[in-house]
Amino acid sequence: MKRVLCLVAIVLTIGLTSCGGEGDPTTTLNVTLTDFQFTPNRFTVPAGEEITLNVNNTGAVVHNFIIMKLGTTAGATYEDEDEANVYWGEKDIQPGGDFSVTFTAPMEPGEYEVICRTEGHIASGMVGKLVVVAGE
Ligand SMILES: [Cu+2]
């Protein structure tokens, strides 16, 4: 019985966490690029706001931070035709690269795919989510 209660508590906690959102929306994103991950790999931003992206590539190879348009995906491999579905991207971030860029968050709330276009990196797990939430 105790075990069941515990499980219920865990489920409730998870439920509340996902309900309370994805974490509060923020206009400053700090992301570390490694071989082959975005850390963190989930970002929540307010729609239409200017977002500052602080990028740090601590990996050994070139990485990218590319946001795909809503409802699109680069699939398992980023190909030339995926270019048309890019919402915004910071491309060819060199190893050791550590800088800030800004972009405007999409107006439409939803979950946007974030990927690294370097060959093989999506398949290796270099995928993230940009969650856009409606402003107040
Ligand atoms: Cu990469």
SS3 of 52, please?
strand
**48 CA from centroid of ligand 1 (Å):** 26
**55 CA from centroid of ligand 1 (Å):** 12
List per-residue pLDDT tens for the chain, 136 residues long: 455 554 445 444 444 444 445 578 999 999 999 999 999 999 999 999 999 999 999 999 999 999 999 999 999 999 999 999 999 999 999 999 999 999 999 999 999 999 999 999 999 999 999 999 997 6
Residue range 65-91, pLDDT digits in tens: 999 999 999 999 999 999 999 999 999
Cβ neighbourhood burial of 86 (10 Å; 0-12, 13-18, 19+): middle
- Residues that place a CB less than 5 A from ion ligand 1: 63, 116, 118, 121, 126
Distance of CA 77 to the CA centre of its chain: 17
- Residues contacting 25, CB < 8 A, separation 6+: 44, 45, 46, 133
